[in-house]
Structure formats: structure tokens, C-alpha cells
Amino acid sequence: MPRPAEYENLIKTKAFEAVAPTPGAILGFLRNAADYKVTAEQIDPTRHLQVFTLAYEGYFQVVQAVLEFYEVRTKDAGRNLAIQRVSSSLGVSPQEFAFITKAHERRNGTFYLSPFPPVSKAEAATMLAILAKYLPVAHTLTGTP
């Protein structure tokens, strides 16, 4: 499977590194994403922070699955670049991309430094909708049932 040029360029700049595939990893990441999604859908919908966080973490499992598919891992780059690159590969819309980027910044800016600010019902629903929309796209992209 040829790796797209964008991933090759990130390897050349040492942002990503080429790796040997880990048997079962793609399926494992996608199962985790599905589990996060199901859990987010089943918990009390008034728990906006928990729904948002579960959906965000589920989306990152999708990101990890696609990175594994292309046999790369982040090196000098972190989650942010991985999320950006994979979101583009999945065909995320500009509006969704802006939301995902903001969600990532919010998660990182608060997860390590301060309490998470309140999350609205709309934000939680949007993150969950993004996960629900792109999980099947990742299955198709990776050829994983």
C-alpha cells in the first residue's frame, strides 16, 4: 500500500516516523473508538463534559487507526499534527475541522493545566456526531470490517 505524499513528507521532516504495522492494531483502535461512541451515547445526556470527552477520545482512536494503516506514528509532532493530517485524510469538512481543532486545544489546554471549562449540550453533541460520522469512514479507508 503506497503511503500518501503528505505522510511521506511528514516522515522526511521527522514529524512522523515510519513503523512496521502491529498486527490487530487497526481493528483494536477502531473497536476502542466504537466503545467510546457507544458509551457516550448511553450515558446521561446531561453529562455534557463526559459525552464530549468520550467522543473526543473516540475520535483520537480513529486517528490512531489511520496512522497505523499508513504505518506511521507521531515523532516530533504530537496529537495536534496527527489529528490535522488524519482529519484531512478522512475528508473532514472545514467547519468540522475547526471544531475538532478547538476541541483538541481545549482538551490539552485544560487537561494538563486547569479544570475543564463547561461544555455545552451542543458541543457534546457535535463531537459525538463527528465521531459517529467518521468512524465508518475510517473503517472504509482502512478496509477494516
pLDDT value of residue 38:
98
In what helix (H) or strand (E) does residue 26 lie, and over which residues does it extend? helix 25-42
Cα torsion 145, 88, 66, 33 to 10°: value is -70
State pTM to two decimals. Answer: 0.93
| pLDDT averaged over 10-residue windows placed end to end, the chain, 145 residues | 90 93 97 98 95 96 98 83 96 97 81 73 97 98 95
CA 120/CA 37 separation, integer angstroms: 18
